[in-house]
Amino acid sequence: MQVAWQGSTKRSQFRALKWDHVDLPSHFAVWAATKEARFLHGRVVWSKWDVDEMIAGEFREKLEAVPYFMRVGIRGW
């Protein structure tokens, strides 16, 4: 992937972070639509997160224990 940098950015010797491969979010999106990922439906997660940890780790336990964990909503009405 090529990125067009402004001249001032090049002169400041800014180093960009490594880019993720396009397969990461695309494969995650396909997995997130499966029955295996049903526990995540309606929640905000990032494709960079380790799927195996989400399935079996502390994250999953907290999702099951706290109904509003990783959900976006409006409260107070």
Measure the CA–CA gap between 18 and 21, rounded to whole angstroms: 9
Question: Is 7 part of a structural domain of the chain?
Answer: no
* Among the listed residues 40, 47, 52, the one whose alpha carbon sits nearest the alpha carbon of residue 20: 47
Question: Is 1 part of a structural domain of the chain?
Answer: no
User: What does the DSSP assignment read for 8-22?
Assistant: HHHHTT--PPPPPPT
Domain assignment of residue 47, given as a range: 19-77
What is the predicted pLDDT for the residue at 71? 92
pLDDT (tens digit per residue) in 18-49:
667 888 889 999 999 999 999 999 999 999 88
Question: Is 35 part of a structural domain of the chain?
Answer: yes
* Among the listed residues 1, 3, 4, the one whose alpha carbon sits nearest the alpha carbon of residue 23: 1
Question: Is 67 part of a structural domain of the chain?
Answer: yes
What is the predicted pLDDT for the residue at 74? 83
Average of per-residue pLDDT values in the chain = 82
- In terms of pLDDT, which residue wins out, 75 or 6? 75
What is the predicted pLDDT for the residue at 18? 66
Question: Is 9 part of a structural domain of the chain?
Answer: no
CB neighbour list of residue 16: distance below 8 Å, 6 or more residues apart: 3
Q: What percent of the chain has pLDDT above 90?
A: 43
